[in-house]
Structure 1
Amino acid sequence: MEQKPIIRVMLVDDHPVVREGLRAMIESQPDMQVVGECENGKDAIASFHTLRPEIILLDLKLPDMDGIQVIEVIRESVPDARIIVLTTYVGDVQARRALRAGAKGYLLKASLRRDLRDSIRAVHAGGIKVQSEVATDLARHEAAEHLTQRELEVLALIASGLSNKLVADRLGIREDTVKAHVTSILNKLKANDRTHAVTIALQRGFLEL
């Protein structure tokens, strides 16, 4: 029988236990090999250029930089780099950002035992693999309006418990302007009130706990 080529994989996650589990799942396969492990974004970028793995498994939540920044930096120099995001975030916002940055896969950590190995093979073969739950969220919110950067700033301050006046003071804008932003946020998120808007924003990934 013809032997399949070995898929060389690099792991990027700041939790050693997670990396250990990923390594065990991958190296149980005859056609896969872990060639490197990194615990932060800067090391991941440097190691990618040294090791040139065919697949990168990347956590979005890294201690030194946003995982999406890592995708952008790597793909700026190597546009065909194949990166699969591994995350605990179900919401559509982070998934859309990651895919726009160039990720070729987006998987939830809770179901890696079911989907990881087939996803690595699919992405290695040139495909795109997005978990079904995430794909459903992406489709559901495809036509939704996106929040502006200023609206995200207002929403984050509201989530921290600040009143409109304190938000205005913090951002150096008028309270009436904050009220207008809040109205826009409620409309875009189809929220009933400020608390509901924060809940929706957390669920969709506009905000992180």
Structure 2
Amino acid sequence: MSELELIRVLIVDDQELMRSALRMMVESQSDLVLAGEAADGHEAVAMVRSHRIDVALMDIRMPKLDGIQATATITAEQPSCRVIVLTTFDLDDYAFSAIRAGASGFLLKDARSEEIVDAVRTVHAGHGVIAPSTTRRLIEHVAELPNADSGRAAEVRAALTPRELDTFLEIATGDTNREIAMRLHLSEATIKTHVGHVLTKLCLRDRVQAVVLAYESGLVGPSHR
């Protein structure tokens, strides 16, 4: 495997024990390379600014600058850098805020190493990852937000074709391409193409951001799932 194919990973956590565990996990994979470590958000932002980082594994609760603020800064300044939030809290407000700040993934720290490694590869490929136990709660949390943005809803409708809009609304269920394909009576490959068009046209990083937009715009409501 050439160097260009390697995924450069930044580990961000204020606990040395957690950094050590993640370091061993990254170094055990032939397609991952440890690009650096940071003990707080300020160090993480500085690392991303000075090094090419593909994926950051980000703790939320850290001193000086927390993971939410660090995620917002990193994704705004370096859109190509994906952030996976790792937390001990199962979708608390901090985790949801990090996703809104631009994180492409959310996993619990007790996830198996195989899950975390797969998540790194998945977000690097341009997809989102949410811990299975929290997908429904994420959707419910977003669905309860007040003040839907009708202007944003109009922009979404104008940007998408009817079939792409249908796909966008289906993405908001949190289901897989295969499940969506079955409901819409289309091939999985066709749905994958539609999903790609939706994300591109709406300038969304991944499906996680699509779910948030669908509910915040009011295009779907609490009963959608």
Contact 1:90–1:108 (CA<8 Å) still a contact in 2?
yes
- Conserved 8 A contact 2:87-2:95: no
Give yes or no for the alignment of 1:128 onto 2:128.
yes
Unaligned runs of 5+ in 1: 147-209
Q: Is the 8 A contact 2:54 2:80 kept in 1?
A: no
Bigger Cα Rg: 1
Which amino acid is the alignment partner of residue 34 of structure 1? L
Unaligned runs of 5+ in 2: 147-225
TM-score, normalised to structure 2, is 0.60
Structure 1 vs Structure 2: percent identity of aligned residues?
A: 38
Label 1:49 to 1:145 Cα distance change in 2 as closer, same or farther (>3 A). closer
Give the residue type in structure 2 aligned to 1:31: D
- Is the Cα contact below 8 Å between 1:92 and 1:134 reproduced in 2? no
Q: Which residue of 1 aligns with 2:44?
A: 44
The yes-or-no answer on 1:110 pairing with 2:75 is: no
Contact 1:95-1:134 within 8 A present in 2 as well? no
TM-score (norm 1): 0.65
Q: Which residue of 1 aligns with 2:60?
A: 60
- 2-structure distance, mates of 1:30, 1:21: 17
| Alignment check: 8 A CA contact 1:12 1:44 kept | yes
Match of 1:77 in 2: 77
Show CA shifts across 1:54-84 (max 9, x none): 1111100111122110011112222232111
Contact 2:40 2:66 in 1 (8 A): no
- Structure 1 residue 5: Cα displacement: 1.3
SS at match of 1:29: coil
Q: Say which SS state the counterpart of residue 8 (structure 2) adopts.
A: strand
Match of 2:110, SS state, is: helix
TM-aligned CA deviation for residue 92 of structure 1: 4.7
Residues 177-209 of structure 1 deviation map (CA, whole Å, 9 limit, x = unaligned): xxxxxxxxxxxxxxxxxxxxxxxxxxxxxxxxx
Shift of 1:96: 2.4
Tell me what 2:14 maps to: 14
Asked if the contact 2:87/2:109 (under 8 Å) is kept, the reply is yes
